[in-house]
A and B are shown apart, each in its own frame.
Chain A
Amino acid sequence: MANREREDSDDNNPRAKRPRIESEANGKMRSQNGFGGDATNDPSQNPYLQHHYPETTSGGRLNNALRHKTTTKATEALEDGPNNPFTGRKFSERYMDILRTRRDLPVHAQRTQFLEKYQQNQILVFVGETGSGKTTQIPQFVLYDDLPHLNNMMVACTQPRRVAAMSVAQRVAQEMDVTLGDEVGYSIRFEDKTSAKTVLKYMTDGMLLREAMSDNNLSRYSTIILDEAHERTLATDILMGLLKEVVLRRPNDLKLIIMSATLDATKFQRYFHNAPLLAVPGRTHPVEIFYTPEPERDYVEAALRTVLQIHATEPEGDILLFMTGEEEIEDACKKIDLEAREMEKESGAGPMKVYPLYGSLPPHQQQKIFEPAPGPNPNSKRPGRKVIVSTNIAETSLTIDGIVYVVDPGFSKQKVYNPRIRVESLLVSPISKASAQQRAGRAGRTRPGKCFRLYTEHAFKNELIEQTYPEILRSNLSSTVLELKKLGIDDLVHFDLMDPPAPETLMRALEELNYLACLDDEGDLTHLGRLASDFPLDPALAVMLIVSPDFYCSNEMLSLTALLSVPQLFTRPAAQRKRADEMKNLFAHADGDHLTMLNVYHAYRSDEAQNEPKQWCYDHFLNYRALTQADNVRTQLKRIMEKNEIELMSTPFEDKRYYENIRRALVAGFFMQVAKRDGNGKTYKTVKDDQSVLLHPSTVLAQDSEWVIYQEFVLTTKNFIRTVTAIKPEWLLELAPTYFDIDTFKKGDIKTSLQRAANKLRSKDNAAKGRK
């Protein structure tokens, strides 16, 4: 919930593992050639290096003339070296190697066309399929023409995913023969790898949005590239609405490029006042599509069957199977592996290797999908192949060569939000036609392929929606609304979004922010709201953190917020469930999961654990990556707290109110996520929404807690609440009196219980007064 950026999908993209360029080697080169006297290579005559020579401003006019007037020929000559126009150093050999492959990319063929369109227009829509090289090349094309450094500006290229921003920046730094973080850098939530030298910045769309909050005109940037716009993330949608206004305010010194991988770019063109379009064909082969004659009874079983049939009957080529989530994927892998071994032994089929692929998979295991397929069966000589069972990560963001067969059951896990029951959840849902096409396209990367759709053609035509709903229609908008308010957009009703959400969604977001006291009744930002918007967190979390000094536990809440912002702490490998649960019980706190998480963190910070943290985590079935990430997040958040003069303090651990204070601080932020037990049974009812829920099996909470707050509502056929901590109803009345206005509750168990709590408070009050 706390994650505003996409951390879920493909953390630790294997591409991020590329070796870094050796900066030392370049350093040596510089002494030899960098500022040498060779006239033809005089860096002071190089327009790209003019900013290094402020005294020779005679070239200034020339530079101005050059900007947006360069030609492919001239820039290519510069790219050919021998010196790097951005650093003055001699290009490395590796650079030359990479340059050759870069010139082979499909986008390169259209460089001149691109330059023309880019130079002549303020806004450009660029369409290039995955693999065309657009993400790495277009920003470089822009750089060589836009010359942002001359005006002390930068080129920004946004990515929907953190990992993509990091890995692409790394790749481009290599391509440009510079050190990552110098001329080319990246900026993602909780991590900024840029410097004063940076001219090209890859960043998550969420980060650019945050920057816009402090600099409404984004005046640091001369060109902004919104990449992967077809993914329609929440932040990209908001940025488009914002930039549509900014380009009007900066008609002469800002250019905007919208890059999309799907051919339906007309929607972007229309939205941006009929901006011109440039399309680059991808490098794809035809893909034959097969449908089932009848709808499948069990798509998982059908998928396994199809994979094995392909293995038994189709010629060489790897298989990509799409599944919805981790559990389904691991299960499928196991079953396919078992069957494939049987086939190899019994019928002489080729050997088959099965690899899972999903976001929360450790990086070294993700890396495995790039291993070559196994060799042929020594007896039958039939070819071996690999099977990759993946979530929709493999749909757009990752390219695996060698895939010839795609099996598409037609489902994926998608975020859903409904303002009526205030639940944001990941649900297994049918994919869109666009998604199905994208999946099929994966089969044609290396040679003509086949895509097996596990549904009928009729179902494809009649049941699948055209495009996946943009995230803005599937999300809780409370943080977005807070951001927009901070961006100075007050008329949220008429804000020009590409796909405006349902009014009820905005209504709910405004209401929630009002209850959190971030917005006043007029809809204006309060002091608390302004503070909260400074944190890259969900408003409820931010509020909890800001008010935590009132409960003498801001240190603890800071740690907890960091822990809630990273992926799952506890690991539970299928083979060692019992042992994992035992280990978890070591940290368990009877009052709930939040306190348990805090215990984990404190244990992790102890000397014993810090001695050998990796091993310690492994022994205790904890996610080491998550914990180190939490440490990092904590540091970043601490900085923001210090900047805003929010005091850091703790209740002494010996104090009996130590944990109570933490629980009360939790209530101050999450009073809208409360459930009360129904009678004496196991079920709980959520307050105000009256939904029956069960405690998630992972909770450590003792069963006798009548009132709880929860972090997450998991919508399945059985409703669960996850990450749960026990609270007292009196606290609700004390800390959130407007939300818990007893008169507004309808008659029932919850109302009576609240009334009882109110009476208790009153008598306690009276007693206190009496004592005085």
Chain B
Amino acid sequence: MADSDDEDDYMSMAIAEPAQALKETSIQRVARKKREAALKAQVKSKAEKAADEAAAREAALATPLHDTSNKGFKMMAKLGFKHGDTLGADKGGRAEPIQVVLKEDRGGIGLDTEKKRKFREQMNHEAKRVKAEEGEYRERVRFEREELKREGQIRNAQRVAEELASKAKEDSSTQLEPKVTKPTPKNARQPLRSINVLWRGLVRQRLVTDGEKRMRHNLTSVRSFLPTYEDPDLDREDLLALGRDEKAGVFKEEVEDEVEQEDSELDQFNALPSEQRLERLVIYMRQEHRYCFWCKYQYSDEAMSDCPGITEDDHD
């Protein structure tokens, strides 16, 4: 131990192991024996006993018979049996005895497997949760922040794309029919389905919030408590202002209809990771409108030669 070291470090901060540890005093021995005896004499609980019993049984069941010392094996060996062989004319016999499985409860068939499966699932889930909490907290926070930022960028990009698209449409229509320069009224909207999926989500969202706003407005104005209520005091202008002319009524229904309709194309798009959605928007704008989302500039040349690249990183 410490004192047997060749170089006796007199400055050592280590607390030397007491010398008695080597030799047990009689008092200590008595104490130890007492302790051991007490441990031995301790009556095992029923559960402990049962566990011991089961363990002994399982151990015995898992131990194959000893070949070499077994007289039965010696007799079989004389008939050409070797360790690892099976019995029978074509050696197709089973190698191991059938397992003894004790049923301890009245659980139906399949219950144990189901329990095990649930337990495993829970364990997996738990493990994942713990992992996320422990090691990857920072990672997760960073990721969530980036995700948030990207969602914002996507919304921006959608807005820009929509604008670009409508501008392009106007341009083309002015080119074709230069006389008609009336700006498209807000109400004269396209059906949701025909809008490019890239920003369809944005439009949809807007419709929903608009609808909600209008509904809230309708609710607060006592007069139009029910949508079918026709107030004779209101003239057409008023109705229009309230968004309740026959057109507006239809419009609302349509919105609700459209908003409630399932849109698998949109769902598919929304299911994409945020990077991909953003990338698709950026590429769309570059290809269709020679607009770089990162430069915030619409280039005049097809090649967009002044733009440093497609990704945000390229613009650093």
List A residues at the B interface (Cβ < 8 Å): 292, 294-302, 409-411, 416-421, 423, 427-430, 454-456, 458-460, 462-464, 469, 473-474, 490-497, 499-512, 514, 519, 521-523, 683, 689-692, 715-719
A302-B108, A409-B108, A495-B89 as given contacts; A691 in contact with B56, CB under 8 Å: yes
Across-interface contacts of A715 in B (CB, < 8 A) = 100, 102
Give complex CA distance A499, B87 in Å: 9
Interface stretch of the complex, out of B9-17, B64-72, B226-234, B300-308: B64-72
* Contacts between chains A and B (CB distance < 8 A), count: 196
Contact A295 B61 (CB under 8 A): no
Which one of A428, A491, A500, A508 has the greatest number of beta carbons of chain B within 10 Å? A500
Contact B97 A509 (CB under 8 A): no
Contact A717 B79 (CB under 8 A): no
* 17 additional contacts (CB under 8 A) given A462-B110, A494-B88: A296-B108, A297-B107, A302-B108, A419-B65, A420-B65, A421-B60, A455-B110, A499-B94, A502-B93, A502-B96, A502-B97, A507-B72, A510-B71, A690-B56, A692-B56, A716-B102, A717-B50
Across-interface contacts of B62 in A (CB, < 8 A) = 420
Interface size class of B (residues with CB under 8 A): 35 or more
Contact B108 A418 (CB under 8 A): no
Q: Interface of chain B, helix or strand or loop or mixed?
A: loop
A495-B89, A502-B97, A692-B53 as given contacts; A510 in contact with B110, CB under 8 Å: no
- B97's partner among A300, A504, A522 (CB-CB below 8 A) is A504
A481 and chain B: residue at smallest CB distance: B72
Q: Distance in Å from the Cβ of A539 to the closest Cβ of chain B?
A: 14
- B64's partner among A455, A504, A718 (CB-CB below 8 A) is A504
Across-interface contacts of A463 in B (CB, < 8 A) = 109-110, 113
Contact A459 B110 (CB under 8 A): yes
Contact B49 A683 (CB under 8 A): yes
A295-B108, A297-B107 as given contacts; A500 in contact with B50, CB under 8 Å: no
Contact A420 B61 (CB under 8 A): yes
Contact B79 A296 (CB under 8 A): no
Q: Interface of chain A, helix or strand or loop or mixed?
A: loop
Contact B61 A421 (CB under 8 A): yes
Contact A496 B56 (CB under 8 A): no
- A510's partner among B64, B75, B86, B108 (CB-CB below 8 A) is B75
The 6 closest A-B pairs by CB, nearest first: A459-B110, A500-B93, A296-B108, A510-B72, A500-B88, A523-B75
A523 and chain B: residue at smallest CB distance: B75
Contact B71 A514 (CB under 8 A): yes
Give complex CA distance A515, B129 in Å: 60
B216 within 8 A of A: no
Contact B106 A299 (CB under 8 A): yes
Q: Distance in Å from the Cβ of B120 to the closest Cβ of chain A?
A: 16
Give complex CA distance A490, B78 in Å: 11
Contact A474 B72 (CB under 8 A): no
Across-interface contacts of B105 in A (CB, < 8 A) = 298
Across-interface contacts of B61 in A (CB, < 8 A) = 418, 420-421
B80 within 8 A of A: yes
Contact A497 B110 (CB under 8 A): no
Interface string of B39-71 (1 = CB under 8 A from A): 000000000011011101100111111000011
Across-interface contacts of B63 in A (CB, < 8 A) = 420
Across-interface contacts of B64 in A (CB, < 8 A) = 420, 504
Give complex CA distance A464, B109 in Å: 9
A414 and chain B: residue at smallest CB distance: B98
Q: Distance in Å from the Cβ of B90 to the closest Cβ of chain A?
A: 8
* 10 A–B contacts from the bound complex (CB under 8 Å): A295-B111, A302-B108, A462-B110, A501-B87, A502-B93, A506-B87, A510-B72, A683-B49, A692-B52, A717-B102
Contact B101 A474 (CB under 8 A): no
A420-B65, A507-B65 as given contacts; A298 in contact with B108, CB under 8 Å: yes
B81 within 8 A of A: yes
Give complex CA distance A500, B86 in Å: 8
Give complex CA distance A295, B110 in Å: 6
